[in-house]
């Protein structure tokens, strides 16, 4: 059945149970506030409080938005863009779009005005829902986009003159379930790639993919109605939303936290009795560093109920998990691997029972198949490096309006080539080696940056590290380490070089740069940005020396 029916089931069976909570830690909550209260008082007052929504209210608001869209001419197959920071309105808006049979088109909140226009045009979006953080960017390109209606989620007095206020428009709309027939093969959503090779590609998914992610998430993490999921990463991305789908399937509460400071994460986990928290690598490191510095006293929080810490979206340093288990020995640890083309996390899954395999991303997830292939798409032997391929109901239908790019990654028999280089061990566990396009070829040797990064992160002064290839006239490329040092510490190039004596000589970085390591909103290192910063000057140097 389509994913919208799970929401309707929860509203019917558990109408008064809390489904969603939003916490804005910048404004200390004085009391709980319901969705209904929020609509009856000024937003300026409401925003001071912790907000919550029941399953019945969730479904009603999704129905109301769907019926509003009908009045504006939206029909099955149309596209509606979402440009919002994480908030309690996000998911009801998403489900309201799905209930019309239209496609939800979530956009990255870091997009520039030009990228917003590009993605709206590429996806054929007819309407847009946006928040206060995006007024300037949307206004700059609104006359250049083929958008018929704009809905603004924010204070009514700040609503731009070209938009309608979302709260005002939906409050009096019908709450009846829209009479639209939706099946698993219908198109459901368009997500966007990270845009590492230019502007993003539009990834088209069916309802079957959304349902597959629900089942995989709930199966992997054994979520029940008693669980509470603390959601921190951005909902526009498949990662956070598909992890929340486990809460949808189990009809359990989720908490949307607007902020990532270590003390805010622990406070929310304590007050909301969170049992599952998905962290990105930098956030987990920040929490541990704050504890080490004495900025956080764990005795100030109630964390005994927190059972599972899992990390995804990027390779996880084994040293980080060893350090985490030292501080939180009772935690189960898990990791998922996925990409937006495979409906986010879950196509490869480690499993809490396999913590002895930390460093691996796991085996094929629930409902998935995996294999590692060479350039001719033939499977390689255990221990050999090849490209990871996955197959399952979560594989994208295609890159929307890009048949050439689709053909490059989708095989005729349903496999998706991920672009990630990987290998398996003797037990069948998969280890990421690196992104195919990030492999450094230095003097004829293939260097895999992730391996070098994992080694360097074991240094007690290093907070974060990225390894990229820089042009070199003699070797073609050289491995260059951009290193971010922990707060309050100093480190020299000689210290790093001495530490790297533990690496084979050909893998040792030939250049060290001490600088911040940029990561995107989902925690991935922005290597294209680093190449833009450092490759130009290095290319000039390579051409004028040696």
pLDDT of residue 441: 73
Mean of pLDDT values over 232-242? 87
What confidence category does residue 35 fall into, taking pLDDT thresholds of 50, 70 and 90?
very low
For residues 484 and 517, give the distance between their C-alpha atoms in angstroms, rounded to a whole number. 6
pLDDT of residue 538: 45
pLDDT of residue 276: 96
| In contact, 246 and 223? CB cutoff 8 Å | yes
pLDDT of residue 320: 86
Residue 102 DSSP label? P
Higher-scoring residue by pLDDT: 518, 450: 518
Q: Is the dihedral of CA 318, 488, 465, 217 positive or negative?
A: positive
| In contact, 17 and 55? CB cutoff 8 Å | yes
**Does position 361 have pLDDT exceeding 70, yes or no?**
yes
How much is the pTM? 0.82
For residues 504 and 268, give the distance between their C-alpha atoms in angstroms, rounded to a whole number. 44
The helix (run of H) or strand (run of E) holding residue 442 is strand 440-442
**Does position 522 have pLDDT exceeding 70, yes or no?**
no
pLDDT in tens, 103-139: 999 998 888 898 899 999 999 999 999 999 999 999 9
For residues 198 and 35, give the distance between their C-alpha atoms in angstroms, rounded to a whole number. 40
**Does position 543 have pLDDT exceeding 80, yes or no?**
no
Q: Over the Cα atoms of the chain, what is R_g? A: 24
pLDDT of residue 439: 77
Least confident among 49-63, 155-169, 276-290: 276-290
For residues 59 and 81, give the distance between their C-alpha atoms in angstroms, rounded to a whole number. 20
Least confident among 301-305, 474-478, 480-484: 474-478
| In contact, 125 and 81? CB cutoff 8 Å | yes
CA-to-CA separations, 535 to 41, 517, 520, in angstroms, rounded: 54, 15, 20
Least confident among 59-63, 102-106, 321-325: 321-325
Domains, the chain, ordered by start: 4-10+56-207 (3.40.50.12780), 340-437 (2.30.38.10), 439-544 (3.30.300.30)
**295-304, 337-346, 534-543: which has the highest mean pLDDT?**
295-304
């Amino acid at each position: 059945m389509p994913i919208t029916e799970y929401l309707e089931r929860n509203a019917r069976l558990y109408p008064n149970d809390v489904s969603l909570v939003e916490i804005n830690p910048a404004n200390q909550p004085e009391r709980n506030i319901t969705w209904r209260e929020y609509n009856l008082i000024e937003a300026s007052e409401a925003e001071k409080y912790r907000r919550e929504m029941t399953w019945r209210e969730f479904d009603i608001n999704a129905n109301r938005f769907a019926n509003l869209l009908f009045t504006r001419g939206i029909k099955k197959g149309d596209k509606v863009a979402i440009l919002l920071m994480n908030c309690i309105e996000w998911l009801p808006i998403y489900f309201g779009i799905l209930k019309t049979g239209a496609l939800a088109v979530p956009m990255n909140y870091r997009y520039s005005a030009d990228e917003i226009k590009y993605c709206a045009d590429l996806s054929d979006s007819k309407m847009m829902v946006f928040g206060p953080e995006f007024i300037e960017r949307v206004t700059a390109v609104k006359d250049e986009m083929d958008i018929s209606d704009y809905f603004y989620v924010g204070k009514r007095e700040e609503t731009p003159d070209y938009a309608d206020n979302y709260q005002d428009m939906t409050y009096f709309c019908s709450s009846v379930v829209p009479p639209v027939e939706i099946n698993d093969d219908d198109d459901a959503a368009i997500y966007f790639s990270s845009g590492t090779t230019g502007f993003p590609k539009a990834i088209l998914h069916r309802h079957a993919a959304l349902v597959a992610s629900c089942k995989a998430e709930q199966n992997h993490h054994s979520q029940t109605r008693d669980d509470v999921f603390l959601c921190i990463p951005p909902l526009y991305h498949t990662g956070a939303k598909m992890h929340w789908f486990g809460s949808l399937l189990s009809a359990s509460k989720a908490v949307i936290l607007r902020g990532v400071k270590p003390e805010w994460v622990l406070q929310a986990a304590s007050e909301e009795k969170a049992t599952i928290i998905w962290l990105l690598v930098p956030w987990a490191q920040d929490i541990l560093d704050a504890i080490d510095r004495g900025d956080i006293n764990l005795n100030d929080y109630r964390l005994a109920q927190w059972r599972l810490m899992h990390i995804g979206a990027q390779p996880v340093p084994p040293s980080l998990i060893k350090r985490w288990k030292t501080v939180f020995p009772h935690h189960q640890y898990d990791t998922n691997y996925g990409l937006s083309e495979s409906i986010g996390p879950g196509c490869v899954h480690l499993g809490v029972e396999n913590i002895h395999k930390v460093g691996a991303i796991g085996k094929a997830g629930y409902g998935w198949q995996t294999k590692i292939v060479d350039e001719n798409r033939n499977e390689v032997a255990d221990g050999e490096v090849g490209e990871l391929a996955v197959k399952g109901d979560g594989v994208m239908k295609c890159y929307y309006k890009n048949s050439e790019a689709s053909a490059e990654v989708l095989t005729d028999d349903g496999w998706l080539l991920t672009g990630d280089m990987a290998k398996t061990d003797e037990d069948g566990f998969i280890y990421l080696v690196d992104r195919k396009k990030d492999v450094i070829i230095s003097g004829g040797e293939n260097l895999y940056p992730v391996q070098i990064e994992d080694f360097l992160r074991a240094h007690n002064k290093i907070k974060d590290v990225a390894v990229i290839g820089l042009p070199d006239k003699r070797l073609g490329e050289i491995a260059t380490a951009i290193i971010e040092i922990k707060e309050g510490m100093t480190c020299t190039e000689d210290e790093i070089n001495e530490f790297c004596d533990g690496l084979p000589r050909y893998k040792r970085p030939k250049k060290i740069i001490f600088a911040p390591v940029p990561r995107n909103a989902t925690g991935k290192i922005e290597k294209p940005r680093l190449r833009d910063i450092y490759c130009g000057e290095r290319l000039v140097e390579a051409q004028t020396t040696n």
